[in-house]
Amino acid sequence: MLKGIPSILSPDLMKILLEMGHGDEIVFADGNFPSASCAQRLVRCDGHKIPVLLHAVMKLFPLDTYVEKPLALMKVVPGDSIKPVIWDEYRTIIQEYNGPLNDFEILDRFAFYERAKKAYAIVATSEKALYANIILKKGVLTDFD
């Protein structure tokens, strides 16, 4: 155990977050996402929901300020009547740690899959909300206190 590190962050996830550099992306995938078949590096966070993980990660993770939208979500497939209310929860969490948010980039389902395949890592969760997948682009730290 370490001081100040949220206990929900496993050693494997901490290692991934530390290895990532500026511009690298990480996917937090819901329980329906094909994580294992898309991932270059797979981190299992079974039993955990994405908002709880986001709270822990955003305490440590700088978002890329050199791009207009450092966060991406999967667009609802046309004809699907789902309204992903979890997106509002994500917005609240991210603004808590990073201030005002430009908004999310919304990607078509298959474009999201392709981008996820290029991500540094995918975190597989037990999130049950539909369209809960989110991509975070890592930024830089200017203060190494």
Report yes or no: 41 and 122 within 8 Å, Cβ to Cβ.
yes
| Rounded-to-integer distance, Cα 34 and Cα 124, Å | 9
Q: Which of 24, 55, 97, 113 is catalytic?
A: 113
Active site residue 108: no
Active site residue 120: no
Q: Which of 30, 64, 120, 131 is catalytic?
A: 64
Residues annotated as catalytic are: 22, 64, 113
